[in-house]
A = this chain, B = another copy of it.
């Protein structure tokens, strides 16, 4: 019998809108849900509101946000003014139930007592990352629509990198009738890029960018250094999706008059409903 089938009540502790949508979606699936750490809210539809202690006292499983903690190890609760740490009592309760958290290793380092229990990191899983490629790609396209003064249709886009996000982004931009080129390093990836109907280029051979209206960088290393930017048409819009420190020398871009923007945490910002549902799906997988 799966762990999930034994759960009646979820505590959803802290976080932003994603956690609210997660709570709502769990409730629609028939679970009892209690929110903790949302003191600024007076009511949330059919979902029960409590404080953190109250929520933890009556739940069978707890879900913490991504990230679960702030730098100072307090709970990440943007919907509360209070700074809240986990108490000994909290940890005792949490050690007896399944706990799902984004970046769970932080939680375990900050509250080692929890190592006695079962703490799962949903954010580190491959399926979580893949599912988030869709809201990330859509967020990137939204950003491009806002910044670029032409249509995506007939625009010439260059996607640097053919990982999870590059794959989904290429598909969506191609579907919107953009002229899509994708770079990769492996011959097999380059062949697959062509097999899927895009143009292919070697990431390693990228010495300049000419003839692209929009560039999406998905590679988490400094691809667009001063040298490459110098050989980039200043009319190009660069959207950097790489996690910090990012893939673009923004200072150099500014000096050279190239419009470059950073687009981070897109699922939470652009599609918190879908991002919350993805947390739910991943938690279900973990508990099954």
Q: Which residue of B lies closest to A141 (CB)?
A: B145
**A138 and B126 in contact, given A133-B195, A191-B131 (Cβ under 8 angstroms):** no
Q: Are the C-beta atoms of B272 and A149 separated by less than 8 Å?
A: yes
A135-B151, A150-B274 known; A172 and B164 CB under 8 Å? no
Is A190 within 8 A of B138, CB to CB? Answer: no
> A250-281 vs B: 1/0 string, CB under 8 Å?
00000000000000000000111110010000
Separation of A195 and B126 alpha carbons in the complex (Å): 12
Closest CB of chain B to A190's CB: distance in Å?
Answer: 7
CA distance A149 to B192 in the complex (A): 22
A153 at the interface (CB under 8 A from B): yes
| Residues in chain B near residue A188, CB distance under 8 A | 126-127, 129-130
Which chain B residue shows the least CB distance to A149?
B273
A190 CB contacts on chain B under 8 angstroms: 127
The answer to whether A271 and B149 touch across the interface, beta carbons within 8 angstroms, is yes
Assembly stoichiometry (copies): 4
Q: Which residues of A in the span 169-220 have a Cβ within 8 Å of any Cβ on B? A: 171-172, 175-177, 186-188, 190-192, 194-197
| Distance in angstroms between the alpha carbons of A36 and B177 in the assembled complex | 35
Determine whether A23 belongs to the interface, using a CB cutoff of 8 Å to chain B.
Answer: no
Among A129, A151, A154: residue with most chain B CB under 10 A: A151
CA distance A188 to B129 in the complex (A): 8
Indicate the member of A126, A167, A285 with the most B CB atoms within 10 Å: A126
Determine the distance from Cα of A151 to Cα of B21 in the docked complex, in whole angstroms: 13
Name the contact of A142 in the complex, choosing from B130, B142, B196 (C-beta under 8 A).
B142
Q: Other than the known A128-B191, A167-B196, what 12 A-B pairs have Cβ atoms closer than 8 Å?
A: A126-B191, A129-B188, A130-B191, A131-B191, A138-B151, A138-B176, A145-B145, A145-B270, A151-B274, A153-B197, A175-B175, A176-B176
Binding site for B on A (CB under 8 A): 17, 21, 125-131, 133-135, 138-139, 141-142, 145-146, 148-154, 164, 167-168, 171-172, 175-177, 186-188, 190-192, 194-197, 270-274, 277, 285
